[in-house]
Homo-oligomer: A and B are copies of this chain.
C-alpha cells in the first residue's frame, strides 16, 4: 500500500517513500517513460531506481509495457513504465457556453472516452452539473465494456470517483488565479462549491480554451512538442500557450488572447472594447459577414462550410483574406515566443487547407527567415473534447495529488 509520509516513519522509510513519490509524480505528469528517462528526470541512481521501480511494480502501482512492434527501431525494444491504468481515472469537465463536455483518462495517460451534451445558454449551474454527472456515468458504462488489461472493478458501470483526487474544470472567459482551488471567473459564482459538494474532491479550474491548448500538447496534434501555440477560431477567437510542457498563464491569467491582437486600428469595434481586433475578422460571425460582403449566399456557417468545400470563389476568397489576417497575428506571436508547433482548432479549422494554406503563407512571409522552417502549422485533432481533456491534464500536471495517492488495485485491496 502506498500512502503519504507519516511523522512516525523511520528515516529510511521516509527516504524510500520520497523516492517512490518522485517516480509516481513523474509518471503521473508525463505518462509512460523508459527507465533511462525516469533516471534522467528523477536524478536517482540506476540501482536506487531499479529498487524503487521493483517495489512499485510488485505493489501494482506501476506496470511495464513495450511499444507496439511497428514503432520499434532496430535493437531491443525499450520498455516503458507507467502508472497502472487500473489504478484510477482522472476526469475533466468543460462547461462551454452552450454545451457540457466530459472526458476520462486512466492513470497510464490512456484516454478512456469523452461525451458531450448541448444545452441552452441560460441553463443554471446546478442543471449543468447534473448533465456533467450523467455524462460521466455514461462514459464509465462504455469504458467498463472494454476494461483494458484486466483491472478489477467492483462496480463496473460507474466512474471510480472515490479514486479521484481532484477534478479539472474548464469555463469560459478570463480567470483570476487559474489552475488553483481559488480560481474565479465572471459568472461562475457557486460553481466550484457545487462541484466540490457533488464530487467530494478539490476542483481545479482554468479557462477552457487554454485547457484545449494543453490537451493538444499532451494528447493531440502537438503531442510531440513541448512548446505549442494553440489558436481557436470559433464564435470567439482565443488560444493558449504551452511553454516547456507547462501551461503558460501570464501575470493576471490574461495570456493567449490572440483574438484581441489589433489587425487594423481603424477597424470595426470589438466586444472587448478595442477596434479591429483579430476576433472582428476571424470569428465565425465575422467570417460570415465578410462572406456576405463578398456576395456569398449560402446560409449559416454550415452553408459556408459546404460552399468552401465546393470551391465557391467567394468562400475561398474570404478564407484567403482571413488566413492572411490570422497568419500575420501568428507571426507576431511566433517572434515573441518561438513555439515549435502551431495548432489551429475551432469550427473554422474544419475548412482545412482552404484556410490553413493562406495562414501558412502569411505566417512564413512575415516570419524572419531564420524562424521560417522552425514552426509547423497543424490542425487540431481533439475536437470538442479538447478542453475536457485539458482539464484532466491540469489535474495530472498540477494537483498536489500524491499525499493522498489512490491505492493501486491489487489482490490485497481489490
Report A's interface with B, CB cutoff 8 A.
11-12, 14-15, 174, 225-227, 241, 243, 248-258, 260-262, 265, 270, 272-274, 277, 328-329, 331-333, 335-340, 365-371, 374-375
Contact = CB atoms under 8 A, between A and B. Distances in A.
A339 B241 CA distance: 13
Contact of A15 (B15, B174, B337, B339): B15
B273 A251 contact: no
Given A256-B336, A333-B336, 5 more contacts: A252-B371, A262-B332, A272-B368, A272-B370, A274-B366
A367 B11 CA distance: 54
Contacts of A366: 262, 265, 274
Copies of this chain held together in the complex: 2
Given A243-B248, A374-B254, A273 B336 contact: no
A340 B251 contact: yes
Contacts of A273: 368-370
B251 A225 contact: yes
The winner among A11, A265, A329, A368 for most chain B CB atoms within 10 A is A368
Contacts of A333: 332-333, 336
A292 to B, nearest CB: 27
Nearest to A254: B338
Given A15-B11, A15-B14, A368 B336 contact: no
A173 to B, nearest CB: 10
A370 B329 CA distance: 20
B11 A338 contact: no
A365 B260 CA distance: 12
A370 B174 contact: yes
Contacts of A371: 252, 254, 257, 260
Contacts of A14: 15
A274 B368 contact: yes
B332 A255 contact: no
Given A14-B15, A257-B371, A336-B257, A227 B243 contact: no
A211 to B, nearest CB: 16
Nearest to A16: B11
B11 A252 contact: no
Given A262-B328, A262-B366, A370-B272, A337 B339 contact: no
Contacts of A243: 243, 248
14 contacts: A11-B12, A243-B248, A249-B338, A250-B337, A251-B338, A251-B374, A251-B375, A252-B371, A252-B374, A254-B371, A257-B368, A258-B336, A270-B368, A337-B337
Contacts of A252: 338, 340, 371, 374
B337 A336 contact: yes
B336 A265 contact: no
A337 B241 contact: yes
Given A265-B365, A366-B274, A368-B274, A258 B335 contact: yes
Which 6 residue pairs spanning A and B have beta carbons closest together? A250-B338, A251-B340, A255-B338, A273-B369, A227-B251, A272-B368
A371 B273 CA distance: 11
Contact of A253 (B226, B258, B338): B338
A224 to B, nearest CB: 11
Contact of A368 (B256, B260, B265, B370): B260
A403 B35 CA distance: 23
A163 B363 CA distance: 48
A240 B368 CA distance: 16
Contacts of A272: 368-370
A167 to B, nearest CB: 24
